[in-house]
Amino acid sequence: MKVGRTVEYEDGDQILAEGSESDCNIYVLLDGQVKVTKGTEKGQATLALLEEGDVLGEGSFLAQRVGARSASAVAQGKVKLGILDHEKLAAEYKNLSPIFQKMLKDLSERFSKTTLLASRLASRRMDKPSLERREIKRSSVVQALRVRVDYLSDTNFISGTYSGTETYRGVLLDLASSGLGLELFSSNYSEATHSLGAKFIFQFTLPDKPMIRVQGHLVWVRALGGNKARMGVKFTETNPYLNKVIQEFLQSLSGT
């Protein structure tokens, strides 16, 4: 489908606003990333992170009606969007059989309901941020140790070392007993850089243990105001040695 015109956005720019009137345009993401969010009683819940080739704004076109947008879209970094030729799309839509048109409208309605359900589930995750349930809760003990966590963004592995464009610092709050993740507090939080799915290299040293350096991504975020936030991390890569070090450390705390 031919792109009628293109439009560019800077990091953090709002592309579509929830509740605003739709224009029945369909946008295709030509470059960059776009975060889709929906408002809940506990704040903005992230529904999706769109990448090159994905489309947005298609709901109102498929439903063939102008109405309030069901979600917001925000640029993550520099973004370039293409607006598909509306006249050609409308002409192709009219050439569809009435049955097929109804199928598309029904699909749009189901998508709207799915979006609402997804936002409710995301809201529940925001309300109960936990790594995993354990028989013995150790987070207060871990937090008391004030173990510093450095994490790097946009990382590359060169000559046996990791390098990144930005380095952030946080404090370890909890560790998953499975060795597959951690919880941390950070005063470097930014919605633009700490969105769900954001990837980092995490570095920390547990008492009497060698430094741990592991890749991971954010699976939940609870903003605390300003630049402060609690975040849950799932390790992207793990190994038996890493699991052993974490489990031995947690076992050493069981009698604390």
Report how far Cα 145 is from the mean position of its chain's Cα atoms: 29
CATH of the domain at 109: 2.60.120.10
Whether 111 and 154 map to the same domain: the answer is: no
CB 249 within 8 A of CB 204: no
pLDDT reported for residue 55: 85
Whether 84 and 106 map to the same domain: the answer is: yes
CB 78 within 8 A of CB 32: yes
Closest CA to 83 of 157, 9, 174, 165: 9
Asked if the structure places residue 133 within a domain, the reply is no
Asked if the structure places residue 134 within a domain, the reply is no
Asked if the structure places residue 37 within a domain, the reply is yes
> In this structure, which amino acid lies at residue 67?
G
Closest CA to 182 of 86, 249, 116, 117: 249
Whether 120 and 18 map to the same domain: the answer is: yes
Asked if the structure places residue 244 within a domain, the reply is yes
Whether 72 and 48 map to the same domain: the answer is: yes
117-151 residues labelled b (16+ CB within 10 A) or e (exposed): ebbeebbebbeeeebeeeeeebeeebbeeebebbb
Q: Which residues of the chain, if any, have pLDDT below 50?
A: 127-129, 133-138, 156-164
CA gap 137, 143 in Å, rounded: 12
Beta-bridged to residue 181, according to DSSP, are 234
Q: Which of 127, 147, 170 is the last residue of a domain?
A: 127
Whether 109 and 167 map to the same domain: the answer is: no
Measured CA to CA in angstroms, residue 128 lies from 48, 50, 53, 132, 142 at distances of 20, 26, 34, 11, 19
Q: Which helix (H) or strand (E) holds 113?
A: helix 98-127
Asked if the structure places residue 211 within a domain, the reply is yes
> In this structure, which amino acid lies at residue 132?
E
pLDDT reported for residue 136: 42
Task: Give the predicted TM-score (pTM) of the model.
Answer: 0.47
CA gap 214, 246 in Å, rounded: 12
Closest CA to 173 of 228, 245, 248, 244: 228
Q: Which of 95, 127, 159 is the last residue of a domain?
A: 127
Total number of domains in the chain: 2
Asked if the structure places residue 132 within a domain, the reply is no
Residues 6 or more apart whose CB falls under 8 angstroms from that of 39 comprise 18, 45, 72, 119
Asked if the structure places residue 56 within a domain, the reply is yes
Domain that holds residue 28: 3-127
CA gap 22, 37 in Å, rounded: 16
CA gap 12, 194 in Å, rounded: 12
> In this structure, which amino acid lies at residue 237?
E
Whether 106 and 164 map to the same domain: the answer is: no
CATH of the domain at 168: 2.40.10.220
